[in-house]
Amino acid sequence: MAARQPGALTPGLRQVPVPAPDLETIVSLAKRRGFVFPSAEIYGGFANAYDYGPLGVELKRNIREAWWRSMVQERDDVVGLDAALITNPLVWVGSGHVANFTDPLVDCKRCQRRFRADHLEEGAYGEVPRDANGNPLCPYDGGELTEPRQFNMMFRTQVGPVADEANMAYLPPETAQGIFVNFVNVQQAMRRKLPFGIAQTRVSFRNEITPGRFIFRTLEFEQMEMEYFCMPPRDRDNPTEYLALHRQWVEERLRWYIEVIGIAPERLRLRDHDRDELSHYSAATTDIEYLFPWGWGELEGIAARTDFDLSSHAKLSGQPLTYFDEETGQHVIPWVIEPAAGLTRTLAVVLLDAYSEEPDEKGEKRVVLKFKPRLAPIKVAVLPLSKNDALRPTARRVYDMLRPLWMTQYDETQSIGRRYRRQDEIGTPCCVTIDFQTVGEDGQPGDDCVTIRDRDTQEQVRVPISGLVAALEERVPRC
């Protein structure tokens, strides 16, 4: 497997492990602070299923909007789509998923646990025991494993009141196919010329056997994908220009993770798929990988899918999925570049990479999530110095003023130091404190000023309430 550091963007950087001590630290923080909960926990949970709490919902939304802003809003060659989740099952026949979307499954004859055979070989369960012939054994009890058999990872469902094969449908295992079957609709409705892209974010479902690594791989997950359609190459066997376009998208997507999302470049790398890894239709595929606590893992794949999908759907449906080239007067089948990212997996990486332990103002350890301000679930916290009734009216007035502009949290319980720690731990960039100097005391008028505390530097600056919005806009982008 060819792995290399990320090219010109991050030359010569050494590999640095994630700042979190271990995955369990992040899982604990995520639950305690309302980012991610185990699904149906009161019933014992459900394997590989998670619920996103109030802060997790906001973090997901901010990552999704950052992707949409970069991929659609700031470009003039990409438009959006929201295709149906449940659609004609022939879509999944034409895409090849019904026949080929399978993984090798093995069972332990002793404990009955099931594993993906490739995960055992790739080290997902650590160093597994082996028999005298070198075959892997169960990583839990050393039991003998069955011969691998293929199982399809698509979830089936029924449409209508009668449960039979005629009414069978599938939950989507990926985002791309809704884009391909709508190619002509979008191209004609939006009068687009090649090259152009169609972007989509939505939930996908895969009936996978996973090693249980938090939200890295789950049954239900949200994807952010874009299909970039371009003219077919002049030489199909030597598509130089097409592969150059693929490399441009690889570099662009790597730049997004570093500059927009704020991932440390030394924990990112590019891995080009070897020939024996490539799908039969792929001219090239490159993964952007992150250095997780258990090792390198895929964060996003950028695939050169050629014209496989459009050609397959056109053949099965009998409907042409072509583009009319005005220069040559011919209908052509576009080729495609596909940057495909996992939103929920990106959220896991953002949590891991933002985690920091450092001294606070008193020299004691504090935990900080150093999100990029645009990604932070809560942008501003309004904190009266205490629960004193004299502070509350002004604090609520400030809170009401800021809420329309930023996701804002109001907190007046416990000491101000503990509240600072809570906001640090959820990644809030700025805290605004209202004290007795603000409102006045002992018959003396207040100065109507508040204190802004910076999350990362812990520096504090005093500003008038009338200038608070302007001061915060210098530090935190509006929602």
H or E element at residue 463:
strand 460-464
Question: What angle do the packed helices 23-32 and 343-354 form, to 10 degrees?
Answer: 100
* DSSP reduced 3-state for 462: strand
Query: CB atoms < 10 A from the CB of 356, how many?
Result: 15
**pTM exceeds 0.85, yes or no:** yes
Residues 31-44: tens digit of each pLDDT: 999 999 999 999 99
Judged against a pLDDT cut of 80, whether residue 331 lies above it is answered with yes
> Which one-letter amino acid corresponds to residue 99?
A
Q: Tell me the average pLDDT across 452-460.
A: 95
Distance CA 332, CA 387 (A): 69
Q: Tell me the average pLDDT across 440-451.
A: 89
Residues 353-398: tens digit of each pLDDT: 999 998 877 888 899 999 999 999 999 999 999 999 999 999 999 9
Distance CA 353, CA 290 (A): 10
Amino acid 433: pLDDT: 97
Residues 99-137: tens digit of each pLDDT: 777 778 888 989 988 888 888 887 778 888 999 888 899
Contact 393, 368 (CB under 8 A): no
Distance CA 331, CA 183 (A): 14
Judged against a pLDDT cut of 60, whether residue 2 lies above it is answered with no
Amino acid 361: pLDDT: 75
Give the residue ranges of DSSP H helices in 320-429: 343-354, 392-402, 416-426
* DSSP reduced 3-state for 3: strand
pLDDT band at 211 (very low <50, low <70, confident <90, very high): low
Contact 165, 138 (CB under 8 A): no
Amino acid 5: pLDDT: 47
Instruction: Tell me the domains of the chain and their CATH numbers.
Output: 2-99+156-350 (3.30.930.10), 102-152 (no CATH), 378-473 (3.40.50.800)
Distance CA 220, CA 203 (A): 7
- Picking from 209, 257, 256, 214, the residue whose alpha carbon sits closest to that of residue 20 is 214
Q: Tell me the average pLDDT across 238-264.
A: 96
| The two structure tokens encoding residue 448 | 């109507």
Amino acid 45: pLDDT: 87
Mean pLDDT of the chain: 90
| The two structure tokens encoding residue 236 | 């199909």
**Site of tokens 């004859």:** 109
| The two structure tokens encoding residue 349 | 């990486």
